[in-house]
Amino acid sequence: MANEPQEPNNNDKKLPGGSPRFGTGLGALVLVALLMIVFVSGFGRLFQGSVEEISYSAFKAQVAVGNVQSVTVEGDKITGTLGKPIVGSAGAAGSKSFLTYLPSFGDPNLLQDLTKNGVVVQTRPESQFSLLGLLLNVVPFILIGWFLFWMYRRTRSQGDSIFSVGQNKAKLYRKTRESVTFSDVAGIEGVKKELSEIVDFLRTPERYRKLGATVPKGVLLVGPPGTGKTLLARALAGEANVPFYSISGSDFMEMFVGVGASRVRSLFRDAKAHSPSIIFIDELDSIGRHRGAGLGGGHDEREQTLNQMLSELDGFEQNDNTIVLAATNRPDILDPALLRPGRFDRRVTVDRPTLKDRLEILKVHGRNKPLETDVDFEKIAQGTPGFTGADLENLLNEAALLAARRGMSSIGNKEIDDARDKLLLGLERTNFVMTDEERKIVSYHEAGHAVVAVNLTTTDPIHKVTIIPRDNSMGVTEQLPEHDQHLYSRTYILDRITVMLGGRAAEDAFIGDITSGAENDLREATRLARKMVLDWGMSKRLHNLALGDEQHDVFLGADISRRREYSERTAQEVDDEIKSILDRAYDKAVSILKEKSAALKRVAEALLEKEELQGKEIMALVAAAI
């Protein structure tokens, strides 16, 4: 469901059909050409009058009997008048005017015969007029003129005419019965409540003005991609029932200098003319980046566009009920002038949905899909931590595609689970063949992760262990939390690092060698250990210190000039602490696996046989080995 878009500029003056169609114009042109042929032919006959065309031999016979009074010779064309009309085969008299043509081989005695019989002879130069010549000279100009006119109408209908390049390119949305409203947006109740205040102000501004309150001129929606920022904007358009102008930040930019600023002026002028109204700018960071930043300096055209937008935001009058709504997933790179009070002075965070929100989102996206009766949305929501609304929609869509591919009439838990694995782990590499030795190594590696996880107290439950090769791995041990977690204890993080190193520990202790398969495990374990030391103050020697710096993007140029805020000696201590954390976690993993060696072998052998084990099967195998 979507709002109905309308063009904001002079739509009433446009043709109902938009730009002229090529086929319609060509048909009209052919009709004009045919009319020209008919006209020219009739025009010629009009001047010819009632003329009878006779054969050359008949003409010579009439000359011989003295019935020809005068002739006019024009090239090979001979016209003239007779003394008496020629009587036809039916007895009817013909016309006194006649027309005939010289034969191609000529007649050298013609002039002598005409003079001998007293015929008045006139000569004229051969006429250059011909219908074919007219068409060859006129029709190409008509075609070129028609094509230029067609191109002009087409570019004008698309708003790309050179004369309208600086005009507002935003789409105007008006409320329809199919419009999206807040009831169609599941979860994020706090965000909807915040935006509802804007709707209420646009509907009843007097209630706020009596108390001296003013609604923010700019509202910035901030959140990761896929969390529903644009959907919220569409819902706001459906709820407000006022003109809603929607445009992307990239639509302001053009190859011509000054076009962006011109479009900003045009957009705000149109919005003010239809006040109260809402302007929605998607991907604000494409034009709102910090001015003068980057290795090569600022982008002059983008900065001029931003300057114009800042001016328009400040230029609102007190009685101007126009609100600017913008969305971005990069608030850290926006120019500070945009975020100060009086411009985008209210920030609404649209974060990843919680467990409750995911449940509501799944219900919305699943209401039009044929699901089997045992599909449990609550269980799916628990198994998709960190998924955004777009991710959940894609999950159910992938499950529907899998069900259709398998010839099923409804979507089951198997299809949803397979779709989730596809999104998280990638496609199965069906043409990838591992040797027996590689399968054994991968089995022990994943079994090491699983056995260590089962024997630690604060780790997340195991959902699945597989040695089926996928895009990003040759095997996976998948753990899913029982609930959303926002704070992580030191014990939890250390146990997580220990589980990550369990695969390498199993290789070393039971295979007798180590492989490159632990690359991602080592990278993630090192990253967590470094954050424990630098950011979270969780090391023994450097506790209560946050030595890490905020992350900056290279394209902003901040990394070039950033200097470390601690000494070389402290840097050495940081490295020592990170290594100490990793070494202790690795030793703990080795100790667990040696103690539970029987369980490790059972799980590894079961993986070699089945290639995939569920969490309950892992728990049963470990319990049976005690």
Two tokens at 532?
A: 């424990």
The pLDDT of residue 572: 92
Same domain, 599 and 457: yes
Q: Let me know if residue 148 belongs to a domain.
A: no
Domain boundary among 328, 349, 370: 349
Residue whose C-alpha is closest to residue 209's, from 279, 309, 278, 276: 276
Residue whose C-alpha is closest to residue 482's, from 500, 496, 462, 502: 462
Same domain, 384 and 300: no
Q: Let me know if residue 156 belongs to a domain.
A: no
CATH number of the domain bearing residue 402: 1.10.8.60
Q: What is the dihedral of CA 383, 386, 387, 389, to 10 degrees?
A: 130
Q: Let me know if residue 557 belongs to a domain.
A: yes
Same domain, 384 and 446: no
Q: What is the dihedral of CA 314, 318, 321, 326, to 10 degrees?
A: 20
- pLDDT tens-place string over residues 414-466: 899 889 888 888 887 777 888 889 899 999 999 999 999 999 989 999 989 99
Percent of the chain whose predicted confidence (pLDDT) is above 70? 79
- Per-position b or e across 464-492, b if 16+ CB within 10 A of its CB: bbbbbbbeebbbbbbbeeeebeeeeeeeb
Same domain, 176 and 314: yes
Expressed as residue numbers, the domain containing 370 is 355-425
What are the residues whose beta carbons fall under 8 Å from the beta carbon of 558, sequence distance 6 or more?
Answer: 552
Letter for the amino acid at 533? V
Residue located via tokens 């929501």: 381
Q: What is the dihedral of CA 76, 79, 83, 88, to 10 degrees?
A: 90
The pLDDT of residue 293: 58
CATH number of the domain bearing residue 551: 1.20.58.760
The pLDDT of residue 257: 58
Residue located via tokens 């599909």: 375
The pLDDT of residue 142: 80
Same domain, 231 and 260: yes
Same domain, 461 and 561: yes
Same domain, 416 and 334: no
Same domain, 369 and 470: no
Q: Let me know if residue 4 belongs to a domain.
A: no
How many domains does the chain fold into?
4
Residue 122: CB atoms within 10 A of its CB come to: 11
- For residues 280 and 245, is the Cβ–Cβ distance under 8 A? yes
The whole-angstrom separation of Cα 498 and Cα 105 is 111
CATH number of the domain bearing residue 284: 3.40.50.300
Domain boundary among 62, 94, 124: 124
The whole-angstrom separation of Cα 80 and Cα 161 is 60
Q: In this structure, what are the phi and psi dihedrals at residue 374, rounded to the nearest 5 degrees?
A: -90, 5
Same domain, 579 and 492: yes
Q: Let me know if residue 20 belongs to a domain.
A: no
The pLDDT of residue 258: 63
- pLDDT tens-place string over residues 235-257: 887 777 778 888 887 777 665 55
Question: Which residues does the annotation mark as catalytic?
Answer: 446
**SS3 string of 359-410?**
HHHHHHHHCCCCECCCCCHHHHHHCCCCCCHHHHHHHHHHHHHHHHHCCCCC
Burial (Cβ within 10 Å: 0-12, 13-18, ≥19) of residue 326: buried
Two tokens at 346?
A: 């209210």
Which parts of the chain register pLDDT below 50?
1-23, 43-49, 89-92, 159-166, 295-298, 319, 552-561
Same domain, 535 and 455: yes
Same domain, 184 and 248: yes
Q: Let me know if residue 415 belongs to a domain.
A: yes
CATH number of the domain bearing residue 61: 3.30.720.210
Q: Let me know if residue 219 belongs to a domain.
A: yes
Q: What is the CA radius of gyration of the chain?
A: 43
CA–CA distance from 2 to each of 234, 326, 506 (Å)? Answer: 8, 19, 54
Question: pTM value?
Answer: 0.66
Two tokens at 258?
A: 């000054």
Q: Let me know if residue 568 belongs to a domain.
A: yes
Same domain, 324 and 179: yes
- pLDDT tens-place string over residues 518-571: 999 999 999 999 999 999 999 888 888 888 765 544 444 444 445 677 888 888
Domain boundary among 349, 382, 397: 349
- The DSSP string of 81-139 is EESSPPB-TTS-B--SEEEEE--TT--TTHHHHHHHTT-EEEEEPPP---HHHHHHHHH
